[in-house]
Amino acid sequence: MAEITRDDVAHLARLAHIDMTDDELARMAGELAVIVESIKTVSEVAGDDVPATSHPIPLSNVFREDVVGETLSNEEALLNAPDNADGRFKVPAILDGE
């Protein structure tokens, strides 16, 4: 198993400005050792002929044509507005003007 000590975890916690108790440091040392060992195992299995991937299947973006569709005229948009002025929606002020 990977050799990660309580002092290693305490050093990392100090660098990250994380306060940890003695119990948390001891537990985290064991957990990090398991994680490092798992990564080491995967690295041994992956050979030069295996490309690095971020997803198990290829991904591609699907885009639709950017076409202007049916739109409302300014008058139609303001038709049911409770209040409007100068061709715009009129709403109550929420700031004191500061």
Q: What is the CATH number of the domain that holds 21?
A: 1.10.20
Q: What is the DSSP string of 69-98?
A: -----HHHHHTT-S-EETTEE-----S---
| Average pLDDT of the residues of the chain | 88
Distances (CA, A) of 54 to 11, 48, 59: 31, 16, 10
- Domain membership of residue 30 as a residue range: 6-45
Residue 74 has pLDDT above 60, yes or no: yes
Answer yes or no: is 78 within a domain: no
Answer yes or no: is 85 within a domain: no
Answer yes or no: is 16 within a domain: yes
Question: pLDDT value at position 46?
Answer: 72
Answer yes or no: is 63 within a domain: no
pTM of the model: 0.45
Total domains present in the chain: 1
User: pLDDT for 26-44, tens place per residue?
Assistant: 999 999 999 999 988 887 7
Answer yes or no: is 26 within a domain: yes
Answer yes or no: is 20 within a domain: yes
Question: pLDDT value at position 55?
Answer: 80
Residue 96 has pLDDT above 90, yes or no: no
